[in-house]
Amino acid sequence: EAIETFERSAERDRAREQVRAHAERALGALEVVTHADDAVAAFGDSAPRSTPRTSAMSTWARALGLRAVSPAIHDAGALRRSTLPRSGFSALRGERYDAFVTHGPFGAPSQPGHAHCDLFAFELDVAGRRVVVDPGVHAYHDPAARHACRTGRAHATPILEGPGLDTVEQAEIWSRFRCGWRPRSIARLR
């Protein structure tokens, strides 16, 4: 009985440490996608007006005894780049310009309803003020509006133009929760 209690206690401690490690990496990731105005970049299904400020989330995390584990910062002359390779977000920060880019997987494979045509969507700050923003998704009840705000045209996303390309979309969304083919990035930021 004592051995069983000890094993359960050890399992609980391992699980607690795993949760702590994930939470601390998530806090570090939050630093990458936060604008100078303390708000999170609005990619995918985000709801910018409902999301707490990063400083409020960090204060709460510190009160719980958590510390951010920040991803590596790569200096390239006047620019600094922080990348979250598994989720596919990067921040490029310069003296006057900050750019936030999504270049990762098109939605989580396990949740195709959260896929948006936003590969290479970006947000741009100039001198600490937002100039280009991705509006996120804000339509849930009207099916036509929901479909429209999941397209590339609804995000701050580059679109290919040219003969026969004026209606090219990054992916085919079949219905509210189904995605057809998924785009993928074959180049990597170095």
Residues forming beta bridges with residue 76, ordered by sequence position? 79
DSSP code, position 98: E
Q: Which of 1, 66, 63 is nearest to 27 (CA)?
A: 66
2-32 and 54-63 helices cross at what angle (nearest 10)? 160
Q: Which of 121, 134, 69, 122 is nearest to 97 (CA)?
A: 122
* Token representation of residue 190: 């170095």
* pLDDT tens over the chain, length 190 residues: 767 776 778 888 888 899 999 899 989 988 888 998 998 887 766 666 678 899 999 999 999 999 988 888 888 888 899 988 877 889 999 999 999 988 876 665 556 556 666 778 889 999 999 898 877 666 677 878 777 777 777 777 776 666 665 555 666 555 555 555 555 655 555 5
**Whole-number pLDDT of residue 124:** 93
**Whole-number pLDDT of residue 91:** 92
Predicted TM-score (pTM) of this structure: 0.73
What is the phi/psi pair of residue 23, to 5°? -65, -40
**Whole-number pLDDT of residue 40:** 87
